A and B are shown apart, each in its own frame.
Chain A
Amino acid sequence: MDTIEIAQPLLYGPRTLSETLAFLLANPGSQLIAGGTSRAAEAPVAVTLHLLDDLKRITSGDRSLDVGATAPLSALLSLPDTQIPVVLKEAIRTIGTSGLRNLATVGGNLCQKGTFGDLFPVLLLLGAQLELRGQRSSRWVSFQDLAEQGRLSLAAGELLTKIRLPLEQPGLHFYQKIGSYRTSWEEKLSMVCLASPKDGLLSRFRLVFSLPQLGLLRSRELEAELTGRRLPLPRQERDASLARLADFLAELPILPSVFQTERILHLSRWVLTRLDDD
């Protein structure tokens, strides 16, 4: 392991995963730095992961894609569409600039302080899992479990090492992001929707909104109600679903802003109309 600096902050640059995990176990509270795009070294002890080639690796299996936690976002954009769900590429393209995407990592996007990051809702709907490794342990956690827990909680010495996502392409996908890091929270949100029409029926329908102040917003009732419906949806059914979605939003313990509520309803209407079109 290389010690890069002696004065504070102490920066460590391990070259193997086992060195990293041993160091993290012995130094709880160390700050991890991957792409380094979100913050500089702030803690007294920081570990830079950029020398760990294993964590940058992307491998494709028959049914899934394994993405190392420090793979840069641009590496995923370089994959052919047969090797990655296209909706994930669309979400990645909305993050920063092409230069920033050469630096920013998948794991860094998921481990941002106080938020889940742009890729979380997409990976949730795709049914992805995270691999968390400690010096003597390894476990897989589904994004669904994380969404229910409300945050990614790592045990002492644990590190996010890999993201595994199924390669199945949904029949239809919609991704929309409104606002950027410059925008105030009231005017920021993203939407991801996966839908599978089959034999004239909507065989699968998943819709999630991500709001900075609320986290993920998902109406299971709406999803269940629409799944199995015959396409195209009659206008009255669309309007009834949107009315129920508006009721759902109005009953949340923390209300979305007026702007967010309007956009959620507008985007939902757009999605339901597009289902009809396709």
Chain B
Amino acid sequence: MKVQLILNGDDLALSGGPRDSLFAVLQQRAGLFPERVCCEQGDCGRCHILLDGKEVPSCLIPFFQVREQEVVSPEGFQNTEEYRQFRALLEEEGLVHCTECTEVQIFHLFSFLEQFPQADAEECRLAIGEIPCRCGSKPVLERGARRWLASRPWPVVGREVPRGHH
């Protein structure tokens, strides 16, 4: 089965089986996530991507569901200006590079803050805690999240949904 998608800004068609996960196809056919082992439960964060702008675990997405959608992998994200700014801010807060989790944490936290700009400190702490790591970077990430949100335009609290008639 061939599926047309936009991967890191490029239009392309990838081949995979109907039972394949997106992670398997990205790893085997697109050369992404080299040598990365994933929990395949959506827990570890190592396979997370942006699907139409939202962070999702690619190990849980059936490959066929991404047809005509936009996928950004951590490799694609690392080429953006936002990544460089966010990483610089975290380094100012004392980020130490951990081969296990740093890139995964940055990707996860940035995606979370973009999706929930109204997140409070507790919600940020919970989101940071979702990625397992023992490298001790969580306080750095929490400080970085607070500074990043404070530097953004004042967010609206929640997104109103359309009113309809029942």
Chain B residues contacting A117 (CB-CB under 8 Å) are: none
Task: Say yes or no: A60 contacts B42, CB within 8 Å.
Answer: no
Q: Let me know if B108 and A99 touch, CB within 8 A.
A: yes
Q: Which residue of B lies closest to A50 (CB)?
A: B65
Question: Residue B152 at the A interface, CB < 8 A?
Answer: no
Whether the Cβ atoms of B159 and A40 lie closer than 8 Å is: no
Number of B interface residues at 8 Å Cβ cutoff, please give it.
38
Check if A37 sits within 8 Å of B42, measured CB to CB.
yes
Task: Please report the number of residue pairs spanning A and B whose Cβ atoms sit closer than 8 angstroms.
Answer: 113
In the complex, which of the residues A8, A79, A100, A164 contacts B42, with contact meaning CB atoms closer than 8 Å?
A100
Q: Taking the complex as formed, is A110 at the interface, i.e. its CB lies under 8 A from any CB of chain B?
A: no
Residue in A closest to B123 when the chains form the complex, CB atoms = A93
| Residue numbers in A under 8 Å from B18 (CB-CB) | 4-5, 7-9, 11, 41
Whether A195 is near chain B, meaning CB under 8 Å from some CB there, is no
CB-CB under 8 A for A4 and B55, given A61-B166, A79-B159: no
A102 part of interface (Cβ distance < 8 Å): yes
Q: Is the CB of A97 within 8 A of B160?
A: no
B163 engages A103 (CB within 8 Å): no
Chain A, Cβ-Cβ closest to B52: A102
Decide yes or no whether A19 CB sits under 8 A from chain B: no
Q: CA separation between A83 and B163, bound complex, in Å?
A: 10
Residues of A within 8 A of B130 (CB): 97-99
**Interface size range on A against B:** 35 or more
**Quick check: which of B56-64, B81-89, B91-99, B137-145 contacts chain A, the rest being far away?**
B56-64
A52 located at the interface, meaning its Cβ lies under 8 Å from any Cβ of chain B in the complex: no
B142 CB to nearest A CB, Å: 15
- CB of B37 closer than 8 Å to a CB of A: no
CB–CB B157/A80 < 8 A: yes
Cα A96 to Cα B108 in complex, Å, equals: 14
Establish whether residues B164 and A4, one from each chain, have CB atoms under 8 Å apart when the complex forms: no
Distance in angstroms from A40 CB to nearest chain B CB is 5
Complex contacts, B33 vs chain A, CB 8 Å: none
Flag if B60 contacts A78 (CB, 8 Å): no
Interface centre among A9, A65, A103 (most CB of B within 10 A): A103
- Contact sample, A vs B, 20 pairs, CB 8 Å cutoff: A4-B1, A4-B18, A9-B18, A13-B67, A33-B65, A37-B60, A40-B19, A60-B161, A61-B163, A61-B164, A61-B166, A64-B166, A65-B161, A78-B116, A80-B157, A80-B158, A83-B158, A97-B45, A102-B54, A103-B42
